[in-house]
Structure formats: structure tokens, C-alpha cells
Homo-oligomer: A and B are copies of this chain.
Amino acid sequence: MDKILRIDMGAAGGPKLTEEPVGEYAGLGGRAMTSSIVAKEVPPTCHPLSEDNKLVIAPGILSGSAAAMSGRISVGCKSPLTGGIKESNSGGQGAQVLARLGYAAIVLEGKPADDNLYKVFINKDGAQITVDNSLKMLGNYAVVDKMKAEYGDKIATISIGQAGEMKLANSSVAFSDMELRPTRHAGRGGVGSVMGSKRVKVIVLDDSGLSNRKPAEAEKFKAANKEFVAGLRKHPVTGEGLPAYGTNVLTNVINEAGAYPTRNFSKGQFEGAAKISGETMAETENARGGEGSATHGCHRGCVIRCSGTYYDKDGNYLTKQPEYETVWAHGGNCGIDDLDAIAMMDRLEDDFGLDTIEMGATLAVAMEAGVAEFGDAQAAIDLVKQVGEGTPLGRILGSGAAVAGKVFGIERVPVVKGQAMPAYDPRAVQGIGVTYATTTMGADHTAGYAVATNILGVGGSVDPLKPEGQVELSRNLQISTAAIDSSGMCLFIAFAILDQAETFQALVDMLGAFTGTAMTADDVMALGKKVLEIERDFNKRAGFTAKDDRLPGYFYREKLAPHNVTFGVSDEELDQVFNW
């Protein structure tokens, strides 16, 4: 990982590939890398679809090594959805393979003058870019199939579907998983539309002939990794809950906590939750084809194994096991209690290249506007199909909840900085409300997952219904998350490292041993703070102010059943999150 591949799509005479030493960005990875490059090289007030924006794809610091859980990759740019800096994080094989190929980052820059569509192929011999207009308006599944036919099945892919080509603000960048399916997405913030504006349809990676990246101190690294894995296995969330049911283990938990946003955030409990819970999903899967509810990892080196496969009624592969947030977005939030319908939408959205959280939130806003009835699963599926077809209605919905709310004249739109809230109502999980409001990313649960401490009892305990202690909780989580997102580690390791000091120390030791530096816990937190400061500064230069660090007005006014709470963290407190 000592080089950066730059692809200037706007170069005279066609795209120009340049490999350059990592230089001033040396030692960075993942979110630290993408945010550093974007903050330094992208004018903060530029149009997100303009030649001035850049799409940066960067594996984490430990990606491509033997470190367990190190297969996360970051996609960064100025976001078409939020107008601010964006780091969208994905699993899948991309991180491991790109890192083994030696690239600390791929940077797509400029913008072609013509309408050609391009594919990039990278292997041990370097990178090539070619026009391939046969890929135009293909879904991610078809793109991957074509690439497999062309380059064999030892590849990993990074691609966009129709949504990205149409430059819809809710489009994702898809990463293939271990089964070479495009099921893992840098979903949030519309990063796919920036890739679409660069006219790059797919990046094919082949690391044949290359081996893992080597740690500076092999023995120390190996020992730390072993300790780290043991810690993950021993924690109830990473060792039991997630492997058993995947992330959808949360449906019953969050619903019982009264924090499950139902029918466009109008209530905190969904009467149909049990029918779409992880437990029911596992039963359903066990009754159908394939491996049933058995789970596996989304990338090489995963030991948590929260992924699964969803088969349809006839036992045919339909999609990956939908994540909790996906199930919620199309389930309770749309009043839908039909797992097969939800899985169908998951499949369609993976194929079109759409963020499932934003898409489900947008469907619910459309339902509130009367475009369809809450609970009408077939209508919801048809609406998602329209996005892929690019009909006017589809384009509205593919532009995200904020735009849909504006077009339909709806006031109750659950967004912060233009990005839809995920599956936790901020009134009943006030810590996550602080994260939604203040993170540089727009409403994003992964930026500081206070649900862990508010609801799951991980990392201590803070009453979810009260404002007290939430700012400190969110602050600490945002800092550690920014560091984890830079390491290449899956965020789910946080459950274990929050509760088990020795597991956190093992991570610190692993980073130190890999890079050959004397790293301390303070260094890790300092990295997290540095990343947040860079991002905050970009957003400030883009015109963001404290007024953008707020929830929509109705969360302060409308009480959420069953707890009948409003969001209680004051503006003054919110403004203290980044005051360290």
C-alpha cells in the first residue's frame, strides 16, 4: 500500500492513469485516507457532480493483512446527498484485494466530455482503463456476471448500477462479496452518483499471484491478532448474537425498547415486528434452500460472520440476508411485515445500486404523501422498480428522502444534512440522536453507535430516554469510530473493544506491530479526533454551521409512543460534541 492510483477522467485525449507514491498521505487508510484527500483536494463548495469532485476508494490501514476483520473499505467524496464530506464504508472483498494489490487509494478525478462508459481492470501488472459501452444501464448483478465471464472468478468488483449512472443522489458503490455477488455497498451519501459522473461503471480487481501484506513485527502481530480474535469470540454480541441471526437480531430488541421507527417515524413500536425479526428470518431460512440460517463472513478474515443468504420460497438465491436497517427501512418504517417482500427490495436495490436505508426512508415519506399506502408491499416493490427504470417518480425516490419530501410537500422528513435517519428513533435513543445531529456525515448510526450503550448495555449504560450523558457518549463513540473506520476494521469489533479492555489493547498492539510503531490507545483516539477535525473543517468551508447540527423540528415537538418522549438534548449541548 505504498502507491495511489489516480485516474483523470477529464484528461485531454481520454482517461489518464497515474501511479504515484503515497507521499504525504503515507500511513493513512480507510476514512482517514479518503477524508484527507477529499479535504485537501476537493473545493468544498464545488458541485458534487462536477469535474472538481473526486471519488476516493481506500482500504484500511490493516486491510490485506492477516488481521481478522480487516476487510472494510472507505469511499469518500463531497456528497451529492448532504453537500458535505462523505465517507461511506463497505464490507466485501474490495478492501483485502485492493490492499494486496498495493494501492492505498484509487482516486477518480475530472469528468469525461463524452458519454462513454468505462471499466478499469487492476492486477499485479498494473491498471488499465477501457471503454465498455455494453455495460450501459446494467444492474450490478449483470455487471459482475459480465466481468466474471471476462476475467474469471478470482476477481473482486467495485461497481455502480443504474442509479449511479443516472447520478441519483441515493446511489451506492457496490463491492462483491466472497461469493462474487454485489451485495456489499458503500451505501450512504450518494457516492455511486459521483462514480457515475466520472463515467466509471466498474473496477475489477484481481490479486492473483500476490500475498498478504506483511506486518513490521510478525510475532507481536500474530499474538495480538490471536488475543483480538479471542476477545471477539468471547463477547456476547460478536461471539453469539451476530453470528446467530445477523444484524436483524436487533428487530425485536429495538422494537421492545420502543425505539423502532414505525410508519415514517410516527411511532416507536411496530405491531408486525415479530414477523420480520431475525428469529423469524432464521426460521424462514432454515425452512428453505441452501445453508439455511448459517452465517458466513462478507470478506476474507471475518470471524464474526454476520452475513447470510436469503432464498426465496422456491429455494432459489434471492439476495444476501437483509441487514437489520434494511429490514426496518422497508419493514416497520413502511408498515410492511412481509420478509419476502423486504428481501426482494433488498435484491433490487443491490442491483440498481441504492442505499437501502435511504431508499426505505424515502418510500415511507412517499407513503406519508399518499403515493402508496403504508403496508402495501407490492406497491413498495413497484416503486423501487421505478427507480431502476428511471421514471420521473423513480428519479424522485432515487434522490433520497429530503428531495422526495420537498417534491411531495411533506414536512415530516427524518433527515439531517439531507441524509435519512436509520433504524433508531432519536427520541427513544437520545444518544444516537446526538450522533445523527452532529456527525459530519448526515444522519448516520454507524458514525457513533450510541445504541450500544443506550439499549444494548455495551460500553456501560446511559438512559436512552434522557438527555444526560448523551453528548459525552456520542463524542467518544464518534472519535473511536473514526479511528476504526480508518483501520479497515469492521465496526462490529466495537462491541468487544468497548466492553473488554484487553481486546481494545489487542487492536492497539496489532496496529503497532503491523506498522512498526509504538502505538498507544491515545494514539488511536488521536487519529479519530484528527479525522473528525479534518471533516468538520471541510464542512465548515462548504458552508455548514451549527444550524446543520440539529434534528428536524418535529422531533422536538411530537411525542413518540410508547414512551411519549421528545428529543431533549439542547442545542447548546449538541454544540459541545466536538469540543475536546
Show the binding face of A for B, using Cβ within 8 Å: 43-47, 49-50, 52, 80, 166-169, 193, 196-197, 391-393, 395-396, 399, 403, 406-411, 541-548, 550, 552-554
A552-B45 Cα distance, complex, nearest whole Å: 9
Nearest 8 pairs of A and B residues by beta carbon: A167-B409, A543-B547, A392-B393, A392-B392, A49-B411, A543-B545, A395-B407, A47-B411
Grouping DSSP codes into helix (H, G, I), strand (E, B) and loop, the A interface class, with mixed when no group exceeds half, is loop
Q: A153: shortest Cβ distance to chain B, in Å?
A: 33
Q: A549: shortest Cβ distance to chain B, in Å?
A: 10
Chain B residues lying within 8 Å of A406, measured Cβ to Cβ, are 80, 169, 399, 403
A393-B386 Cα distance, complex, nearest whole Å: 13
User: How many identical chains are in the complex?
Assistant: 2
Residue picked from A50, A395, A542, A550, most chain B C-beta under 10 Å: A395
Known: A166-B409, A403-B403. A45 touches B550 (CB 8 A): yes
Known: A47-B552, A547-B543. A407 touches B411 (CB 8 A): no
Is the beta-carbon distance between B169 and A45 smaller than 8 angstroms?
no
Is the beta-carbon distance between A409 and B49 smaller than 8 angstroms?
yes
Chain B residues lying within 8 Å of A399, measured Cβ to Cβ, are 406-407
**Which of B45, B49, B52, B554 interacts with A547 by CB under 8 Å?**
B45
Chain B residues lying within 8 Å of A391, measured Cβ to Cβ, are 392
Chain B residues lying within 8 Å of A553, measured Cβ to Cβ, are 43, 45-47, 50, 52
Q: A46-B553, A396-B407, A399-B406 are in contact. List 5 more A-B contacts (CB 8 A).
A: A43-B553, A50-B554, A168-B409, A407-B407, A543-B546
Known: A45-B553, A545-B545, A554-B50. A395 touches B411 (CB 8 A): no
Residue picked from A193, A196, A403, most chain B C-beta under 10 Å: A403
Chain B residues lying within 8 Å of A50, measured Cβ to Cβ, are 411, 553-554
Is the beta-carbon distance between A395 and B396 smaller than 8 angstroms?
yes
A363-B548 Cα distance, complex, nearest whole Å: 31
Nearest B residue (CB) for A52? B553
Q: A91: shortest Cβ distance to chain B, in Å?
A: 27
A396-B168 Cα distance, complex, nearest whole Å: 14
A197-B410 Cα distance, complex, nearest whole Å: 10
Q: A373: shortest Cβ distance to chain B, in Å?
A: 17
A94-B50 Cα distance, complex, nearest whole Å: 44
Nearest B residue (CB) for A543? B547
A407-B392 Cα distance, complex, nearest whole Å: 9
Chain B residues lying within 8 Å of A550, measured Cβ to Cβ, are 45
Nearest B residue (CB) for A412? B47
A399-B403 Cα distance, complex, nearest whole Å: 9
A355-B80 Cα distance, complex, nearest whole Å: 26
Chain B residues lying within 8 Å of A52, measured Cβ to Cβ, are 553
A47-B410 Cα distance, complex, nearest whole Å: 10
A166-B369 Cα distance, complex, nearest whole Å: 10
A193-B406 Cα distance, complex, nearest whole Å: 11
Chain B residues lying within 8 Å of A392, measured Cβ to Cβ, are 391-393, 396, 407
Residue picked from A43, A44, A167, A410, most chain B C-beta under 10 Å: A167
A46-B547 Cα distance, complex, nearest whole Å: 11
Is the beta-carbon distance between A408 and B395 smaller than 8 angstroms?
yes
Nearest B residue (CB) for A571? B45
